Structure 1
Amino acid sequence: MKRLSKLTIKLLALMMVLSLVAGCGTQGTTSESKSESKTVKIAFLGPLTGSNAMQGVGARNAFQLAIKQANDSGKLAYKLEVVDLDDASNPGTGASAAQKAVADPAIAAAVGHWNSPVAEATIPIFKSAEIPLVIWGAIGPKLTSADNYPYVTRVAPTQVQENSPLAAFAINDLGRKKWAIISDTSTYGKSNTDAWKNELAKSAGTEVVSVDEIQVGQIDFRPILSKIKTENVDAIYFGGVVMEGAMVRRQANELGLNNTLLVGISGILDDKYIETAGSEAAEGVIATKPGKDISEMTGGKAFDDAYTQAGYKEPYGAYGPYAYDAANIVVEALKQAGPDKKALVDAITKAKHDGLLGTTTFNEVGQTTNIASTISVVQDGKWVAWDASKYKSGERKLPGAK
């Protein structure tokens, strides 16, 4: 019995040692596995449902493409995960989405918004949580400011930066001097009205004949358009977004204003605009979009090919390249600073990113210093760069052209 007891003790001791060794080995494997599988999340916010969904979904797709390419590169110490959050072009919905984002400790940064009123609603939430927000599409001039810096940066130009070249083109190149303005009552619409009036005031001989406000969601614009018809203006400036802008153009044609030019900035530059207005009514509408045409962007063809190969069904739209570059700016900042939010904020504000848009840096309030725009016109049911259009060559005449 004594011998057996000693043998049993030895066996038990050996089993304990082996168990400890195995346990250490298991702990090491688990630790390495956790390190290898560490995930850092980046939130994307935009209109993924509703009337402006085409803008948001196209930008979201481009954003996802950038993150996928970053993950596939093998150059990151962790896996990136996109968290899609629908703001539905609604400030209340956007605020709820932002609250959801800041409540997730794995979300290190956010890239968001096509609508300025939505961005206005979410910025205080991201600032309070000290999470960096890179704006990809909202262009209200006050979104980037000393108050919001350094937590808010923007890769897109402001409304003023979009309206200025469009006004110069419409006044100087097209000779349109007598204007009616229609804008929605949102801060976006009001800022557009102010920007357009200020641009017209810079040119002698221009005149704002009338200014009318509409509601987002309004569908009948005939009373306003009937009044404008009596004013014999050279052109109408529309300072809203896709659906209302399309209905204004369609109803203007129905009332016999088909020979009155309509112009606007990137808020109407979408395929959905043409679809809703009808290709005949939309023909000759002019809008400016931020940035160069994709064919003129460095790496534009490679981006376009990669987007197609990824199988996205929706077009990336005017702001797809902006969402793509915004994603890559965050990725580069993560490479430098890691997911620590304070270090990440600093790395984003100091970014010098050579991307689709050219070289993007931010000024003292977080606004991009990389500004470019492209004038486009609706031709045969498609948005076409003005310089490549039949209107530029003289083969066709714009509404009201003499």
Structure 2
Amino acid sequence: MKSLRMRRVTVIMTVLFLLTALLAGCGGKEPAADKKTVKIAFIGPLTGPNAMQGVGARNAFQLAVKQANATGALPYKLEVVDLDDASNPATGASVAQKIVADKSIVAVSGHWNSPVAEATIPIFKSAGMNLLIWGAISPKLTVKENYPFVTRVAPTQSQENAPLAKFVVSDLGRKKWAIISDTSTYGKSNTQAWTDEVKKYPGTSIVSVDEIQVGQTDFRPILSKIKAVGVDGIYFGGVVMEGALARRQASELGMKDTLLVGISGIMDAKYIETAGKEVAEGVVATKPGKDVSKMPGGKAFVEAYGKAGFKEPYGAYGPYAYDAANIIIAALKKAGPDRKALVDAVAKTELDGLLGKTVFNEVGQTKNIVSTIYVVQDGKWVDWEASDYKSGKRKLPGAQ
């Protein structure tokens, strides 16, 4: 009896072994647990006043990687290493050094801030690594000397400022302008871009140009001077926190009827929260790309983002980070997890993605340039075309 039981156990174990081997071989896919892990890095502001921009983009980047892993199509498992640059060039440089020292990281996507990108580009170039920019918009980043190491899915400052200037000057008839920008490379470039664009229209003038420091909190002296000369609008060439405080203080000084405009650097829910819902009402900004609802695959992206359980909104640059991740994934399929090979592979990758068709030009800048005008309405950024301002139900600050 004992011998019979032993034979039965042996038969059962043999059958189980054969079934396990058969199931493991079905479909020709390697079990996920046995796959090699390949790391790609995401860098952005995950703390500080601009954290919502970075966190939303980080989440969208992770979503793309999660979806790629779920298909089982890659011969390895992708892992995102997300790192905080805190919107600070020195912090960004330190993070970049950590990345290049970690040989398991094969590709990189960052940043939101142009000064931070300027600090990290030499580090990645020296190490022979790519940097696919998802948010920083200084025109100086995608240039001949940085190609093919640096590519970018977002438009440049000039490409953002041009449609905004056309809208407020040609469509709204606002011709007398004041400029407030921060002293960073981003701010200075915005001042130059806005000046160049506004001057294209006859009869326009810039009567006041002022610089502020990042982190500055009192703008009353500057705003009082602007109030005294009288303008049709204030262009703010900085980012969320300073822009929101400037708007709030302008309202306190009796300038609520002065239009304030800016590009995507101010376009965040945090801007409205900081300025206050009523104070932010009627602020105009432009954002790269179409509204997500109008993007190819936009509905699927929004649904997938919600199902993934992220607590934070994907923000203005979430779709850009999502496509950046998918470009890296597509390059990995062609070149494999090799830093050197991925530099050229990323630069030559064409993607029919969430933003539409992304193709990089001879300096690594995307050719896919679309911009949308938004306005703050009832505490939210609303597409101008769908707003009460467009329909005439409401009037912008300073409208006759």
Task: Measure, in 2, the Cα distance between the counterparts of 1:99 and 1:37.
Answer: 27
* Equivalent of 1:313 in 311, 334, 356: 311
> Residue deviations 1:214-246, cap 9 Å, x none?
000000000000000011100000000000000
Match of 2:109 in 1: 111
Match of 1:337 in 2: 335
Match of 2:380 in 1: 382
The Cα of 1:344 is off from its aligned counterpart by: 1.1
Match of 1:203 in 2: 201
Match of 2:62 in 1: 64
| Equivalent runs, 1:3-402 vs 2, <5 Å | 36-402=34-400
> Residue deviations 1:302-342, cap 9 Å, x none?
00000000010100011000000000000000001101222
- TM-score norm. by structure 1 comes to 0.91
What is the aligned length? 371
Q: Secondary structure of the equivalent of 2:164?
A: helix
Task: Measure, in 2, the Cα distance between the counterparts of 1:73 and 1:201.
Answer: 51
The Cα of 1:347 is off from its aligned counterpart by: 1.2
Task: Measure, in 2, the Cα distance between the counterparts of 1:122 and 1:134.
Answer: 12
8 Å Cα contact 2:85/2:92 also seen in 1 = yes
Runs of 4+ with deviation above 6 angstroms: 32-35
Percent identity over the alignment is: 76
Match of 2:20 in 1: none
Task: Measure, in 1, the Cα distance between the counterparts of 2:123 and 2:80.
Answer: 19
8 Å Cα contact 2:35/2:75 also seen in 1 = no
The Cα of 1:39 is off from its aligned counterpart by: 1.1
Task: Measure, in 2, the Cα distance between the counterparts of 1:130 and 1:70.
Answer: 25
The Cα of 1:35 is off from its aligned counterpart by: 10
Task: Measure, in 1, the Cα distance between the counterparts of 2:371 and 2:153.
Answer: 13
Q: Secondary structure of the equivalent of 2:397?
A: coil
Aligned alpha-carbon RMSD (Å): 1.1
> Residue deviations 1:50-100, cap 9 Å, x none?
000000000000000000000011100101010011000000000011001
Task: Measure, in 2, the Cα distance between the counterparts of 1:352 and 1:175.
Answer: 39
For the pair shown, the structure with the greater C-alpha radius of gyration is: 1
- TM-score norm. by structure 2 comes to 0.92
The Cα of 1:36 is off from its aligned counterpart by: 3.5
Q: Secondary structure of the equivalent of 2:229?
A: coil
Greater displacement, 390-399 / 344-353: 344-353
Summarize the Cα distance change of 1:288–1:33 in structure 2 as closer, same or farther, 3 Å threshold.
closer
> Residue deviations 1:179-230, cap 9 Å, x none?
0000000000000000000001110000000000000000000000000001
Q: Secondary structure of the equivalent of 1:230?
A: helix
Task: Measure, in 2, the Cα distance between the counterparts of 1:126 and 1:383.
Answer: 36
8 Å Cα contact 2:247/2:280 also seen in 1 = yes
8 Å Cα contact 2:278/2:379 also seen in 1 = yes
8 Å Cα contact 2:32/2:77 also seen in 1 = no
Q: 1:311 is aligned with what amino acid?
A: G
Gaps of 5+ in 2: 1-29
Match of 2:7 in 1: none
Q: 2:79 is aligned with what amino acid?
A: E
Task: Measure, in 2, the Cα distance between the counterparts of 1:248 and 1:82.
Answer: 37
Gaps of 5+ in 1: 1-31
Task: Measure, in 2, the Cα distance between the counterparts of 1:122 and 1:91.
Answer: 8
Match of 1:24 in 2: none
> Residue deviations 1:336-388, cap 9 Å, x none?
11012222111111111000000000000000000001100000000000000
Q: 1:381 is aligned with what amino acid?
A: G
Q: 2:246 is aligned with what amino acid?
A: V
